[in-house]
Structure formats: C-alpha cells, structure tokens
C-alpha cells in the first residue's frame, strides 16, 4: 500500500465552497437563458450521478431513473400543496421518499440482473408516471405546481428568478457531488464495486451482495429524487409528461457519454445532453424545424453508440487509461 | 487514494468549466423594444408540431407564416418584415416552458403569437418571464377562460371563444333541441376539459349516471378510449359530447364505430369546436381508400359541432376565398382546411395589432393598441373579438356534418350565431347581432 | 358479456405483443442482446409500408414491403452494428450493460432518422378490413374483421416459424447456434451467418407487428416505444429463451392489461405491466417456460 495523501471530507467541502463561489460570481455576469440552462445542467447532473452510482458502481442497469425522479418530485409537490411546508424542506422529503421507494424496488428488483433488471426498470419507468392520472391528488396529466418562488426578503427584487433557480439547483448539485464522491471513496463504494466485479468473491470476503445491491438502489434513488425536485423547479411543474421514457434514456445516455465509472463524468454528461441541442438550434433556422428537432438526437445517439464501441467505460475512463499507460512507460 | 485525489481535481476542473460556459453567454443589454429592428419584427410561437395531439394543429403555425410571407411581399408592417420563430412543444407543459424561455430570453422575440394549448400555456405563464418582461402574448389558441385575466396576465389575449361560452351555448342548444334526452360527455382531464364542465354546470346541463367520462391528455394514442366509450354506451346516453383534441375525437369516433355506432347504436354526437376539423378527422381515420373514407364519413354524418369561423368549405365567403388564394401561393402545397383558416385569420389579427401599435411599436404600445382597437379588427369570425377584456371571440354557430364531411348551419341558410360570456353565475345565451367587418382589400390590412 | 369483450380485446392486442416478444427472444437466443432498437426497426419498416401504400394504394404490397424492410434492416443492424459492438464491449467492466445501451443508441438514431424523413406527426395507417365490431347473435362485440385478421396473421406467422424451427435443417442450425455456438461452429455451420438470419427474421416479425398495430396506435417515430415495453415484458414473462413462452407471455399480458384497462381505467395499465413482471420474476425467476438458471444473464 502506498502512503498517499487522501483528501479529507473537510478539504472536499472547502473545494466545493470555492466552486460554489465561482458559480455564484459567474451567475451575475451571464444572460438569463444561460442561467436557465445552467440550472438544467445542474438538475441533470444529479440525475446522472444517481445512474453512475447504481450502474457504474453497483453494476445494476437502470432504464427507469425517471420514475424515481417522479417519485421525489411528486412527494415534494404534494407536501407543499397539502401541508404548505417550506420549499427547502421539500428537497429533503423528496430525497427520503424516493430513497424509500428505491429500497422497496431494490428489494424486489435487486435480485434481477442484466436484461431482466433492464426490463423491470423499463416497465417501472412507464408505470409510475401513468399512475398520476389514476390518483386524483396527483393532479392528472396537467400535474401539480411546484414553485420555488423568489429570493427571500429584500433580495426578491434584485435577484432574478432565474438566478435564484440556478443557485438552488447548483447548490443541490454541489452537495450531491460532494456526498457522492465521499460515498464512492468510502467502504460502501468499495463494497459496491467488489460486488459488481465479482459477486461470489465479494460474498466470500464477507460482503452481503444482496444487501449491497438494495443499498445501492436506495442511495441512487435518493439522488434521483433530488434530481426530480430540481428538474421540477426549473419548469415549475410536476407532471407525468415531464418524466417520460425519453428522460430516463437521456440520463443514461449522459451517464455513458460522461463516463459511467466516475462521479466527475456526470458533469460532462449533463453538459452534453443540454448543450448539443442548443448548438444545433443555433445554426438550424426555424425553416428546418425538423432538422433542429431530430439532428441533436441522432448525434447524441451516434455518440452513445460510438462511445460504447470505442470506449465502453466512457471517454473519461478511456483518457484515464491512456494517461496511465503513458505513466508506466519507462 | 491517488484516484480519489484525481477525482477531486477532475470534479473541480469540470465545475470550473461549468462556470466558464455559463459566463460565455454574456449578452448586450436588451434594446428598448426587443425583437424589433429597422427591417424586421420577430415573433415567437410554440405549438404541438409533433406528438399525439399534433394532428391538425400543426398546420396553424405554418399557415400563420404563410400569411406573414404574403404581407411581407406586400411591404410588411410599415416596411418591417415579420419573422415567425416556430417551436414544437409536443403539447407537453415541460417542453412549453423550455421553448417559451428560449423564445423570450434567447431569441428575444417582440411578442408571442398563437401559443396553443391550455396546460402548456398555463405552465409557460407560470415559469417564463411573459408577465415580468411584459411580453405581449397575443391570441393564445385555447378557450381556457382563466387566461382572460387582465390583472393576473396583463399581456395575455385569447383567440378562441372560451370553453365556458362554448359549453353554455352547447347546453342551450341541447336543452332546446333534445329536451329530456340523456346526455353524456367525454372530456380531456385538464383545465381545458374542466373549463367546459364548469360551463355545462353553469348552464344547468346534467349528465346521465356513468356518462361523465374523461381521458388523460395524450393517452388517446397509447391506451385508447375503449373503456370510456363502452361506459358511455352502457350509460344509455342519447346525446354524447366529445370535448377533446382532434386526435381524441378521431379515436373516439373509431371506437364508437367498433361498438356499433351507425348500425346498432345511434347516439347524437356533438363535437367540441377544437376537436372537430373534418379534414383532420378524415386523415386520422386513415381514409386513403374510398371504402375507409366512406366508413369515416358514415360515422361523421349527422354529428353536430360548434364553430366561430365560417366553414372552411364555404368558398363563397370573402375571407375564405382570399385565404385559400394565399394558402395556394404561399403555403407549400398544404391542403386547405379549418386549421389553415384559423392560422390565417389569427395572422391577419396579428398584423392589424402590429399596425395599431404604431410606426415604432413597443411591447406596451402593442398591448394597449390591442386593448383599445382589437374589437374593430377585420376577421373572418362571426362574432366580436373582445380584446378590451383580453377575451377572444364571443360567439358560436351550430353546424351539422353532411355525408360528404361538409359542415353547414344546422337549420340551413345563414349561420345563426349565439353569443354569451364566460360568467358561470348566469347562463344567458343570446342570438348575436354582430356585423362582421369586410375583408380588407386584397387581404392586406391598412388600419392604424 | 363485458368480461368476454374485454378478453377478446386482450387477445387481439396480446397477439401483437407476442410478435414483438417473439422477435426479441429470437435475437436474444442468437446473440444474447436485448434488441431495444426493435421499436425503431419496427416503426421504420411500418413507415416503409406506409410509403408504399401511399404510392400504389395496395395494402398487401405495403404489408410485404414492410416485412421485407424489416428483414433487411434487421440483417443490416446485425452485420454493421451488433457484431462490432458485441466484440468490442464484452471485455469492459460494463459488459452486461453495454449491449443494452448500444441498442438504446441505435433506437435513438432510428427515431431521429425517421423524424427527418417522415416528420414527427402522428400518421394513420390504413387497414384492408372493416373496423366496425362484428355482430354475434345480434350483439355487437368490440371485435372487428380487422381484429380477426390480426389474430389469424399472427397465428399463421407463428405456425410458419414453428415449422421452420422444428422441421427444417435451417431451423436446427438456428437452434444449435443459439445454445452451443462453439459446437455448432465446429460442425461446419457458419454461426455468424445464422445469427444474421436470426436478426433478419426478427426484423421481419417486427415489421409485421408494426403494420398490424399501426392502424390502432397511429405511426410516429416513437409511437412503438410502449409496444416494445410490453413486448419485452411479455418476453421476460415467458422466460426470454423460449419462443413459445414469449407467445404465451404476450397473450397473458394482453389479456391482463385489457382486464385492468377495462375495469380500473387506462391509467393503471402501465403499472400493471410492472407489477406483473416483478411478481412473475419473483415467483418463477426463469419465467413461465424459461430454462432454470437462465435468469442470471
């Protein structure tokens, strides 16, 4: 074992605070649309982290992360509507509710693997949002309002709603990143990876694979719940059509493109899925609405396919390996 | 260990990159009137250009653009050409928020025109700067009465008569012509449908037990409407109102046919105005063969519907005649129908509003011009545009489909137009005395 | 009477789920890949059929065209994409998820390309048969000539497949290649060619399913996503390795969903599929007819 400097949680938090400061300053210099997109990136980032944890670390594929996001978002919107709780509290409730749900699903689906798990999460992804139409309290297809409102007190007039939105989403994202990095470098993260790499070997070394998988489902869903509530904050609304199969696929795509085995990859992934459509909108004029609508999807999908073929663990991992190889040369 | 440190550095670097990207979008201060230059006025619109609710409605935006192209060719509005940015929200509220944000914040449009959909536009009003920036929000293509709220939505103006008005007029007609009959309804389970229900309730129309059926928006294409139509049949309803989007009407009619409508089951169908375009219904029925066409027409024949514009097939009408000419010349071979008529008429109102806003329009001048002069604008509609109160048109006539899919006034002759308001306190429906302004020469408004 | 109606409706939609399940199982058996792009392939083939229908106005020519398009696209996907991916991706730590994700990427490409060519509008697909419910003893039932045609077509297609698999040497090679590729290769059979054939066959089945379901659901680039979800659910219920299991799974799912939709409402339909799937997997992990131990893929 090398004796290396291991960053402490304290240092990570310092770094996070520093980044938060940069984002805070930056948000005062940019146009509102960019701020809005920044908030979207932050929301997607958390969603992708939830996939990286489950699929990248614990090795369980999920095609239904959108459903856990929906659980979180609906829980938040309901407590606001029914009990008029303060907004900040709803973020915690969203996380807890989604995590509980994840535990329940994990207990049943965690026993499955490969295509069976993919199938179960897929059915889950289309099943959950549709329930909103069956249960009156969930507001049907039109959904529930979820408004994070304005900055408090005297800042309400000076801070634009977009900035306020961005700050909240970015704060959630930073907290999520710090927690995720800490988790994955902890014993729990190592357990997950051990189970992913070799279940039997992990079991022999005293890890309970079933427990580890359910735990991964629970934690991952908690993150998804946070993503769901952030995502709903950006649109001010929780509705079934906000949590479609395409959202689940998009997040998985982002996770793969960014690099499924690292938390840091999630940010790259979130950028790609927000920015690529924007780039195309910029140079496809409205005369070719079809091109602007479909080309980004084709490009993102093609990138996904290429990345699976050429760098199955994502570009960041491929680069990492490349660098590593360089180091080893005498 | 090392990896954790690298992780930390990587996360840090990536977050700094986020900050960098965010700050790259620094823009210049917005001009006094965004979207207006020396030569152009840029307008924005979001609608269902694709997706389950899109059939029919996706022709409205292109029709508006065709009319603008025509006006641009004739010199534009005080020399400025109109540019229409058209976005696709698929009738999904979340998308609508993103698209309207893009139109206002990035494309910096002068005004929004003809945004379509109740749930979509409710979301957009809540979470985009329409109100905050005072963006004129003209001729929202929905009849949700809640949008005509000058205090809450000072810049939002409706286009369609409200669903409450429609329901009140429909209710009066049903009570007059089908007294004592059992009535059932299929409505879209959102503010669109609920607005209609409020109107029926206000007018004192009651539905037979089991005859109040709803469907979730967009579900018509995935789960179908068999359960709802079966329930309506079981309820014994003799008059059935279909109060949904066109694609839902199409699925409902098809399902009704499967349940024996036209052979062993003969309720009177009444179609809400938004879901009643015969061309779209025929297209959706897959009527590419003569037999399929005949089958669809069989199920449409005798159905009643409400309309505030002349029938698209009424080629004697001066508006319809001119719009057909423009459609042929400027709309790239798009088949003429009700939706094109809606779009052209809407575009003509927009042009008049822009003219009324003056030589150097501002967002405020556009809103106040529309408020004070909207009621005098030329339009194909048979009722008055109540822009003074942010309301759309205010009347409907009742028509019946014949065996060729053409709608004509139910009692023959000229359409009898009924008018009312969106109040749920009373059900007063009166026969309209409105006299429609003449079509401007050559279809080019010259108002000021 | 109402229950009977519901069951009949369930059988006719279940038949279509069976077809999709059949296509997915065929591919799974030959390549160990769940073909999520099947939804895209089927929609693409159906659009080809629709284009033919619009050009020449012949339903049967369009049907054949769609099946052929499905066959060609299926073979193309296997030769151009799948071989490459499966070879490259199996070594990585993400080996179990890589094929699934690759197929999702392919699905995205298919849907984008369809959008570019045919637009995103929901288009109707015509039928050659009446959609009005037939009358039995004076009672109208929600089962039309068209539904009968769908059911018969699926039965015929399945019977032909069964004959090919059980009674021909080609079928024998396909079964052999699926269960023991190495041994099969040693016995002189070109396993890769057999594999391509499996994908082509599955593609054709998808095209057929598309044409059969499109008159009910309309056709749009992503309108078959749900069909895929249900087809896959049916395949898993059946055991993923058993073609007959998949067919039975499809029928069971069709009937189950139809009962739920009819009695509880359409909003519960999708959740039912999930619950059904989980319950069956927990009670009988190998599916209705799956081989024991196949669950850990």
Predicted pLDDT at A129: 86
What is the per-residue pLDDT for B434?
Answer: 87
Do residue B199 and residue B51 come from a single domain?
no
For chain C, which chains pass the contact test of at least 3 CB pairs under 8 Å?
A, B
Name the residue among B140, B133, B134, B35 with its Cα closest to residue B77. B35
The answer to whether B35 and B43 are in contact (CB under 8 A) is: yes
B239 and B178 in one domain?
yes
**CA separation (Å) from A4 to A1, A187, B1?**
9, 17, 6
Closest in C57, C124, C226 to B222, CB measured:
C226
Q: Which of A111, A294, A308 sits opposite C101 (nearest CB)?
A: A308
Q: Which residues have a Cβ under 8 Å from the Cβ of B167 and sit 6 or more positions away? A: B195, B196, B197, B198, B199, B200, B202, B203, B205, B243
Residue in B210, B220, B164, B212 with CA at minimum distance from that of residue B185: B212
Inter-chain contact B260–C126, Cβ cutoff 8 Å? no
- Find all residues with CB under 8 Å of C44, minimum gap 6, and list them: C69, C73, C110, C113, C114
Q: Is A261 on the interface with B (CB under 8 A)?
A: no
Indicate which of B48, B222, B296 best probes the interface with C, i.e. most C CBs within 10 Å of its own CB: B222
Note whether A116 contacts C236, CB cutoff 8 Å: yes
Per-residue pLDDT band at C297 (split at 50, 70, 90): very low
- pLDDT at position B396 over 80: yes
Touching partners of A (3+ C-beta pairs < 8 Å)? B, C
Contacting A residues, span 151-190, partner chain B, CB-CB under 8 Å: 161, 174, 177, 181, 185
Domain count for chain B: 2
Tell me which of A25-29, B163-167, B330-334 is least confident.
A25-29
Residue B403 maps to a domain: yes
Task: Chain C: give the shortest CA distance to residue A311, in Å.
Answer: 8
| B235 within some domain | yes
Q: Same domain, yes or no, for B280 and B411?
A: yes
pLDDT of B43 over the 70 cut: yes
Does residue B183 share a domain with residue B152? no
Collapse the DSSP code of A153 into the 3-class scheme (helix H, G, I; strand E, B; otherwise coil) and give the result. Answer: coil
Chain B CB within 8 Å of residue A241 CB: yes
pLDDT range class, residue C205, cuts 50, 70, 90: very high
Q: Do B222 and C127 touch (CB under 8 A)?
A: no
B33 in any annotated domain: no
Residues in B closer than 8 angstroms to A11, CB to CB, are 8
* Three-state secondary-structure class, residue B157: strand
Q: Which residues of chain A are under the pLDDT cut of 50?
A: 1-4, 287, 326-330
Three-state DSSP at B409 gives strand
B353: pLDDT strictly greater than 50:
yes
Which residues form the domain of B293? Answer: 164-307+397-431
Query: In this predicted model, which residue has the larger pLDDT, B75 or A9?
Result: B75
> Which residues in B lie closer than 8 A to residue A30 (C-beta atoms)?
22-26
- Shortest CA gap A25–chain C (Å): 38
How many other C-beta atoms can be found within 10 angstroms of the C-beta atom of residue B116?
27
Chain B contact for A284, CB < 8 A?
Answer: no
* pLDDT of residue C33 exceeding 90: no
Which residues face B187 on adjacent strands? B214, B243
Q: Could you tell me the CA-to-CA distances from B137 to A68, A168, A204, B46, B133 in Å, in that order?
A: 36, 29, 66, 11, 11
Beta-carbon separation of C220 and B230 below 8 A: no
Distance from CA of C278 to the nearest CA of B (A): 22
Domain ranges of chain C: 2-124+142-283
**So what's the pLDDT on residue B8?**
53
How many CB contacts within 8 angstroms connect chain B with chain C? 100
- Is B238's Cβ below 8 Å from some Cβ in A? no
Residue B285 lies in a domain: yes
Lowest mean pLDDT segment, chosen from A17-26, A203-212, B33-42, B167-176: A17-26
Q: With the CA atoms of A128, A133, A137 and A141 taken in that order, what torsion angle do they form, in degrees rounded to the nearest 10?
A: 100
Q: What is the ipTM of this complex?
A: 0.85
Q: What angle do CA A30, A32, A34 make, to 5 degrees?
A: 65
Class of domain C2-124+142-283: mainly alpha
pLDDT at B36 over 90: yes
**Cβ-defined contact of A312 to C272 (cutoff 8 Å):** no
Residue of C124, C261, C269 lying closest to B285 (CB–CB): C124
Domain-located, residue B445:
no
Q: Which of A22, A145, A181 sits opposite B19 (nearest CB)?
A: A22
**Of C264 and B322, the one with more pLDDT:** B322
Q: Does one domain contain both B421 and B275?
A: yes
B304-307/B40-47 β-pairing: unpaired
The set of residues, in sequence order, having a beta carbon less than 8 Å from that of B131 and lying 6+ positions away, is: B125, B153, B154, B155
Provide the CATH number for the domain around residue B411: 3.40.50.2300
pLDDT value at residue B7: 53
Q: What are the two backbone dihedrals, phi and then psi, of residue B141, each rounded to the nearest 5 degrees? A: -85, 70
- Determine the Cα–Cα distance for residues B59 and A169; give it in Å rounded to an integer: 37
CA distance B115 to chain A (A): 16
Taking only the tens place, the pLDDT of each residue in C86-122 is 666 555 555 667 788 888 899 999 999 999 999 888 8
Q: Which of B29-38, B368-377, C147-156 has the lowest mean pLDDT?
A: B29-38
Last residue of a domain, one of B367, B394, B421: B394
Query: Residue B183 forms beta bridges with which residues?
Result: B239
For residue B407, pLDDT over 70 is answered with yes
**Are A251 and A51 within 8 A, CB to CB?**
yes
Q: pLDDT tens for residues B185-225?
A: 999 988 899 999 999 998 889 999 888 888 888 777 777 88
Q: Angle at Cα C44 formed by Cα B95 and Cα C107, nearest 5°?
A: 55
Question: A209-235 and A161-184 helices cross at what angle (nearest 10)?
Answer: 170
pLDDT at B41 over 70: yes
Using a 10 angstrom Cβ sphere, with 0-12 exposed, 13-18 middle and 19 or more buried, the burial of residue C46 is buried
**Per the domain annotation, does B440 fall within a domain?**
no
Task: Residue A244: name the closest of C256, B93, C273 by CA.
Answer: B93
**Window B:57-96, CB contacts with A under 8 Å:** 84-88, 92-94
Radius of gyration of chain C from Cα atoms?
Answer: 19
Q: Please tell me the predicted confidence (pLDDT) of residue C259.
A: 87
Q: Which of B15, B97, B216 sits opposite A235 (nearest CB)?
A: B97
Q: B21 falls in which pLDDT band (50, 70, 90)? A: very low
A265: nearest CA partner in chain B: B11
């Amino acid at each position: 074992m090398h004796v290396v400097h291991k960053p402490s949680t304290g240092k990570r938090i310092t770094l996070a605070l520093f980044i938060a400061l940069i984002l805070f300053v930056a948000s005062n210099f940019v146009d509102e649309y960019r701020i809005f997109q920044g908030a979207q990136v932050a929301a997607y980032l958390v969603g992708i982290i939830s996939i990286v944890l489950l699929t990248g670390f614990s090795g369980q594929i999920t095609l239904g992360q959108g459903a856990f996001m929906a659980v979180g978002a609906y829980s938040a919107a309901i407590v606001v509507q029914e009990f008029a709780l303060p907004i900040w509290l709803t973020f915690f409730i969203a996380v807890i509710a989604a995590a509980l749900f994840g535990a329940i699903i994990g207990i049943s689906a965690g026993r499955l693997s490969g295509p069976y798990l993919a199938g179960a999460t897929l059915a889950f992804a289309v099943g959950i949002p549709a329930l909103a139409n069956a249960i009156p309290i969930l507001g049907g297809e039109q959904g529930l309002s979820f408004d994070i409102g304005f900055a408090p007190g005297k800042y309400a007039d000076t801070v634009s709603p977009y900035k306020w939105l961005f700050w909240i989403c970015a704060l959630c994202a930073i907290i999520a990143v710090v927690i995720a990095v800490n988790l994955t470098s902890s014993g729990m993260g190592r357990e997950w990876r051990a189970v992913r790499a070799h279940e039997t070997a992990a079991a022999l070394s005293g890890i309970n694979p079933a427990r580890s998988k359910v735990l991964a489902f629970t934690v991952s869903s908690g993150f998804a719940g946070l993503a769901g509530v952030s995502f709903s904050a950006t649109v001010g609304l929780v509705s079934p059509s906000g949590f479609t199969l395409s959202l689940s696929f998009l997040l998985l795509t982002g996770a793969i493109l960014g690099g499924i085995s690292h938390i840091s990859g999630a940010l790259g992934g979130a950028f790609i899925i927000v920015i690529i459509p924007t780039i195309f909108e910029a140079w496809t004029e409205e005369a070719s609405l079809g091109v602007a609508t479909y080309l980004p999807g084709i490009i993102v999908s093609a990138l996904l396919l290429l990345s699976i073929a050429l760098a199955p663990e994502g570009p960041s991992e491929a680069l990492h390996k490349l660098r590593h190889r360089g180091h080893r040369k005498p | 260990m090392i990896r954790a440190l690298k992780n930390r550095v990587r996360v840090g670097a990536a977050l700094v990159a986020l900050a960098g990207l965010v700050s790259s979008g620094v823009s210049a201060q917005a001009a006094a009137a965004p979207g207006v230059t020396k030569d152009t006025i840029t307008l924005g619109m979001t609608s269902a250009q694709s997706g389950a609710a899109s059939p029919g409605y996706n022709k409205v935006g292109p029709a508006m653009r065709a009319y603008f192209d025509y006006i641009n060719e004739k010199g534009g509005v005080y020399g400025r050409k109109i540019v229409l940015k058209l976005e696709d929200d698929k009738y999904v509220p979340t998308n609508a928020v993103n698209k309207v944000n893009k139109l206002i914040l990035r494309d910096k449009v002068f005004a929004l025109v003809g945004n379509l959909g109740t749930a979509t536009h409710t979301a957009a009003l809540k979470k985009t700067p329409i109100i905050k920036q005072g963006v004129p929000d003209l001729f929202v293509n929905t009849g949700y009465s809640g949008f005509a709220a000058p205090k809450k939505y000072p810049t939002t103006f409706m286009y369609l008569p409200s669903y409450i008005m429609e329901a009140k007029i429909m209710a009066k007609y049903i009570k007059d012509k089908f007294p004592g009959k059992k009535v059932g309804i299929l409505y879209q389970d959102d503010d669109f449908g609920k607005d209609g229900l409020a109107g029926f309730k206000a007018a004192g129309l009651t539905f037979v037990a089991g005859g109040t059926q709803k469907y979730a928006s967009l579900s018509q294409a995935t789960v179908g409407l068999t359960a709802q139509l079966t329930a309506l049949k079981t309820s014994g309803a003799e008059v059935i109102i279909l109060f949904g989007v066109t694609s839902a009407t199409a699925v409902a009619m098809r399902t009704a046919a499967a349940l024996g409508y036209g052979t062993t089951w003969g309720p009177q169908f009444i179609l809400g105005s938004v879901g009643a375009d015969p061309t779209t219904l025929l297209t959706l029925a897959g009527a590419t063969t003569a037999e399929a066409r005949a089958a669809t027409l069989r199920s449409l024949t005798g159905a009643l519907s409400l309309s505030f514009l002349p029938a698209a097939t009424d080629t004697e009408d001066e508006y319809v005649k001119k719009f057909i000419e423009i459609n042929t010349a400027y709309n790239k071979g798009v088949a003429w129908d009700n939706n094109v008529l809606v779009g052209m008429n809407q575009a003509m109102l927009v042009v008049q509003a822009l003219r009324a806003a003056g030589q150097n329009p501002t967002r405020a001048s556009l809103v106040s011009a529309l408020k004070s002069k909207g009621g005098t604008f030329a339009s194909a509609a048979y009722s008055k545009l109540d822009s003074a109160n942010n309301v759309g048109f205010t009347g409907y006539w009742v028509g019946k489909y014949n065996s060729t899919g053409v709608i004509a006034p139910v009692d023959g002759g000229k359409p009898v137009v009924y008018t009312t308001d969106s109040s749920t306190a009373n059900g007063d429906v009166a026969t309209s005395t409105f006299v429609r302004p003449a079509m401007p020469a050559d279809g080019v408004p010259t108002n000021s | 009477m109402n229950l009977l109606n519901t069951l009949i409706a369930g059988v006719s939609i279940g038949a279509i789920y069976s077809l999709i399940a059949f296509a997915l199982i065929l591919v799974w058996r030959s390549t160990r890949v769940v073909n999520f792009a099947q939804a895209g392939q089927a929609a693409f083939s159906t659009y080809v059929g629709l284009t033919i229908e619009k050009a020449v106005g012949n339903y049967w020519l369009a049907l054949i065209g769609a099946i052929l398009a499905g066959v060609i696209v299926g073979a193309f996907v296997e030769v151009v994409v799948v071989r490459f991916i499966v070879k490259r991706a199996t070594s990585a730590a993400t080996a179990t998820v890589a094929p699934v994700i690759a197929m999702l990427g392919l699905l995205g490409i298919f849907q984008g390309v369809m959008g570019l060519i045919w637009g995103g509008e929901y288009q109707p697909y015509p039928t050659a048969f009446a959609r009005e419910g037939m009358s039995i003893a004076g009672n109208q039932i929600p089962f039309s000539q068209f539904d009968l045609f769908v059911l018969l077509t699926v039965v015929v297609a399945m019977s032909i497949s069964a004959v090919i698999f059980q009674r021909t040497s080609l079928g024998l090679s396909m079964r052999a290649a699926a269960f023991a590729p190495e041994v099969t290769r040693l016995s002189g059979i070109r396993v890769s060619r057999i594999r391509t054939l499996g994908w082509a066959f599955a593609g054709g089945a998808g095209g057929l399913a598309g044409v059969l379901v499109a008159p009910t659901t309309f056709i749009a680039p992503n309108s078959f996503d749900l069909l895929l979800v249900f087809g896959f659910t049916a395949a898993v219920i059946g055991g993923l390795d058993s073609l007959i299991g998949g067919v039975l799974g499809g029928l069971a799912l069709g009937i189950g969903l139809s009962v739920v939709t009819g009695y509880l409402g359409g909003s519960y339909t999708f959740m039912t599929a999930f619950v059904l799937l989980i319950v069956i997997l927990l009670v009988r992990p190998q599916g209705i007819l799956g081989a024991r131990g196949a669950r850990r893929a």
